[in-house]
Structure 1
Amino acid sequence: MINMKKGDAPVSLTKTAGVTARMTWSSHTDYDLYAIVYRTNGDVEYVATFGARGVPAQMSTADGAVKHLGDVGRGAQGIAEETIEIMLNDSIRAVVPVAYSAQSNGTGSFYQYRVTLEIDNGVAGDKVVIAAENANNDHKVYSCVPGMIENAQDSVLIHALEQYSGRGSEKRPTVRVRRSGLLRKGTETIEVTMDEGPRNDYK
């Protein structure tokens, strides 16, 4: 198991047929996991159990490559977990898991509720954890992007981002590619920007 925190160099995992992203938190609250799927052609899909302005709830991508395994609500004392399964085909450039604190929860922080992201590549047995020890403790921050799964040519790269929305913001992040240098010889960076996407529906 590899533990990551913001500022660490990306971790390379063996590319397998399937990658799993799991988010865990204290079951005393009702957080949600959803994913932003960034395609190689620049298209974006959201896989989420709830909608946003102009974006319906969608449990899987149109091609079925990225699937949410279902919403888990507030429950008995213990750990809650939501899972997204990812089949990395050539059309997927990156998948960005997002932890969201539903508006109906009231206040509470990602640190307080021990929000942790685990990413594993299944049969290869590799696991990356971006844990809650370094999470934001602001009780009015509702969205967190712990990390990003990049579909590289020969491997799966895990980036520890630990990016947070602004206080009180209900807007989703956006994902795009930033290019630098000359067109043919330049470099491309996948960039996550908080608070630029559609506003989450009330839940």
Structure 2
Amino acid sequence: MIILKGQKIDITKGKSIKDISIGLTWHNIDPGIDINVSAFLLNSNGICMKDEDFIFYNQQTSRQGAVVHSEKAGSDRELIRISFGKVPQDIEKIAVTVTIHEGETKGQAFAQVQDALCRIYDSGSDEEIGRFNFIEGLQKETAIVVGEMYIYKGEWKFNAVGSGFNGGLAALVKNFGLEVTEAEAQAETAAVNEVDEVTPKTPPEPSSPTQLLKVELKKKGSINIVKSEKVTATLVWETNKDLDLYCFYVTNDFEVGKIYYGNLGSPHSTPYIQLDGDALEHGTETIVIHRPKELQFVLFAAYSAISNGTGSFKSMKVRAVVDNHQGQVVSTFLHEKNDFAYWVAIAHIDFTGSNEMKVSHVEKYSRDGEERSPLLYKDGSFKMDVGPIEFKNSSDDDYLLDDDL
């Protein structure tokens, strides 16, 4: 089973699984990159409260032997094994992370890593439950929260996070509520050399910009997250339909436009937004906003090509996943069943705050059979069915645009 970013899957429900293995592997373009796997045992507030709840290569076993780390297991580069029956009662989540040792110092980042795979399987039977490519959309980051194993209504589930951090292991250690010495943080060998120099601190307030946050917005809901140096928005769907991700934008200079398959954008010129290309099949498409401070508003929308016929966006399990690369990820799922819409506006971001950006769930559909696109206006508002018609020619997949409408 392929697990997509932002997706949650059942691990123990309806199964007799007692121990789970999370194997991680990757391919280094630069053989000098030193990648390490760690795990954090977290309480209900997402805080790592005890030294022994931080698992890495210098401390490979947690309290009660619930989590064990090993550096090599078969085809896996490193392995985290979790025994559910041994997990302490005060632990509700187990975050699995990867970091590049001294990445900032050496000028190394996950852009130099390929084929990064997280594989989840039953430790007893070796039966694979799922696999997750956790590095998609990441570039300059030196730390990744791969995913979380968490308990919900007495059963364990896995959340595919795939969220990147700058600052390496030191950033993760602080994010999960632990402290490291200033010298360790600067050297980016934080919390790796001496476990006794890692001490618990008071849990951060909910508004703390370093708080790890994973939210599924309710219908028409919104949330403020940290305005970071880079924002990624990923369109995810789970059918063989060919969907297209559009990013409508308003810059600080009130320039209005859109990034889509016909204009992929660039990280080097205004509006500093780039699409990773047209998927042409089911899966994902990703927009990277390289300079959020240059923008006022963006609107993310999806279009279903004519050649695919009609069908509900909700049935395709369409969602937008917004990641600020500071450990804060917001998912916007669809709730309405609409079988005849070519367009759906999914998420809106307001960048006008000084230090925060507001992510909103919007979910608005075009009229039945209407191919006119949405339009985002200079004040941040938007309307459906008023933009140009955009469609793919069903015979040769050429892109056609009617800009006169």
Instruction: Report if the CA contact (8 A) 1:5-1:162 is conserved.
Output: no
In structure 1, what residue type is equivalent to 2:278?
D
For residue 89 of structure 1, report the CA deviation from its aligned partner.
4.3
* Aligned partner of 1:141 among 320, 341, 356: 341
1:6 to 2:219 alignment: yes
Structure 1: any 5+ residue segments left out of the alignment?
50-56, 179-189
Match for residue 384 of structure 2?
Answer: 194
- The count of corresponding residues between Structure 1 and Structure 2 is 177
* Aligned partner of 1:175 among 376, 386, 391: 376
TM-score (norm 1): 0.81
* Aligned partner of 1:38 among 250, 255, 260: 250
Match for residue 117 of structure 2?
Answer: none
In structure 1, what residue type is equivalent to 2:360?
H
User: Deviation per CA, 1:32-60, whole angstroms, max 9, x where unpaired?
Assistant: 111111123332111110xxxxxxx2100
Cα distance change of structure 1 residues 193 and 149 upon mapping to structure 2, 3 Å threshold: same
Please tell me whether Structure 1 or Structure 2 has the larger radius of gyration of its CA atoms.
Answer: 2
Larger CA deviation: 85-94 vs 165-174: 85-94
Structure 1 stretches of at least 4 aligned residues deviating more than 4 Å after TM superposition: none
Q: Secondary structure at the match of 2:391?
A: coil
For residue 118 of structure 1, report the CA deviation from its aligned partner.
0.5
* Distance in 2 between residues matched to 1:103 and 1:38, nearest whole Å: 28
Match for residue 295 of structure 2?
Answer: 92
* Distance in 2 between residues matched to 1:100 and 1:177, nearest whole Å: 22
* Distance in 1 between residues matched to 2:220 and 2:327, nearest whole Å: 24
Match for residue 182 of structure 1?
Answer: none
Percent of aligned positions that are identical: 27
Structure 2: any 5+ residue segments left out of the alignment?
1-213, 394-405
In structure 2, what residue type is equivalent to 1:93?
Q
User: Deviation per CA, 1:98-129, whole angstroms, max 9, x where unpaired?
Assistant: 1110111101111111101100101x100001
Match for residue 118 of structure 1?
Answer: 321
Normalized per residue, the structure richer in helix is 2
TM-score (norm 2): 0.42
* Aligned partner of 1:164 among 365, 370, 379: 365
| Larger relative contact order (CA 8 Å, sep ≥ 6) | 1
Aligned-residue Cα RMSD (Å) equals: 1.6
Instruction: Report if the CA contact (8 A) 1:109-1:137 is conserved.
Output: yes
Match for residue 21 of structure 1?
Answer: 233
* Distance in 2 between residues matched to 1:68 and 1:7, nearest whole Å: 26
* Distance in 2 between residues matched to 1:154 and 1:139, nearest whole Å: 39
